[in-house]
Chain A
Amino acid sequence: MSAVDPLHDRGALEALAQPRDLAAPEPLASLGRRLRGFGRIVERGLGILLFLAVWEALPRLGIVSDAYLSPPSAVLGTIIQLGLDGQLWKHIAASLQRSLWGLLLAIAAGVSLGLLMGGWRRLENIVDPVLQLFRQTSAFALFPVFILFLGIGELSKVAIIFWASFWPVLLSTIGGVKQVDRLLVNSARSMGASQRFIFFKVVLPAALPSIFTGVRLAGAYCITALVAAEMIGAHSGLGFLTLNSQETFQIPTMYSGILLLAVMGLLLNYLLALLEGRLLRWRQGLSLDD
Chain B
Amino acid sequence: MAIKISARDVLMDFPARDAQQRVSVLQGFDLDVREGEFLSVLGPSGCGKSTFLSILAGLTARTGGRIHIDGQQLAGVNRSQGVVFQGYALFPWRTVLDNIAVGLEIRGVGREQRRRTAQAYLERVGLHGFGHSYPHELSGGMKQRVAIARSLAYEPDVLLMDEPFAALDAQTREILQTELLRIWEQDRKTIVFITHSLDEAIYLSDRVAVMTQRPGRIKDIIDVPLARPRSNEIRNSAEFVALRQRAWDVLKDEVQFGVHPAAAARPTSPHPLRPLQELA
Contact = CB atoms under 8 A, between A and B. Distances in A.
Interface string A179-191: 0010110111111
A18 B175 CA distance: 21
Contact of B85 (A16, A18, A187, A205): A187
B58 A190 contact: yes
A190 B59 contact: yes
Given A1-B171, A197-B106, 14 more contacts: A7-B141, A18-B137, A183-B87, A183-B89, A186-B85, A190-B83, A191-B79, A191-B83, A192-B77, A192-B79, A192-B106, A205-B91, A208-B93, A280-B93
Contacts of B151: 191
Instruction: Give 5 closest A-B pairs by Cβ, nearest first.
Output: A187-B89, A190-B83, A192-B79, A191-B103, A282-B93
Contacts of B139: 6, 16-17
Interface residues of A, number: 36
Contacts of A187: 83, 85, 89, 91
B137 A190 contact: no
A191 B94 CA distance: 16
Interface stretch (B25-33, B126-134, B193-201): B126-134
Contacts of A183: 85, 87, 89
Interface in A269-290: 280, 282-283, 285-286, 290
Contacts of A283: 92
A188 B57 CA distance: 12
Nearest to A198: B106
B77 A17 contact: no
A262 B59 CA distance: 52
Contact of A286 (B81, B83, B103, B136): B136
Interface residues of B, number: 40
B154 interface: yes
Interface of B is mostly: loop
B266 interface: no
A189 B171 contact: no
19 contacts: A1-B171, A5-B175, A8-B175, A10-B129, A17-B133, A18-B137, A188-B106, A189-B58, A189-B77, A191-B83, A191-B102, A191-B151, A192-B79, A192-B106, A205-B93, A282-B95, A286-B134, A286-B136, A290-B136
Interface of A: 1-2, 5-8, 10, 13-14, 16-18, 181, 183-184, 186-194, 197, 201-202, 205-206, 208, 280, 282-283, 285-286, 290
A58 to B, nearest CB: 50
B21 to A, nearest CB: 26
Interface of B: 57-59, 77, 79, 81-83, 85, 87, 89, 91-95, 102-103, 105-107, 126, 128-130, 133-134, 136-139, 141-142, 151, 154, 171-172, 174-175, 232
A208 B92 CA distance: 12
Nearest to B135: A282
B129 A14 contact: yes
B26 to A, nearest CB: 19
Given A16-B139, A17-B142, A190 B171 contact: no
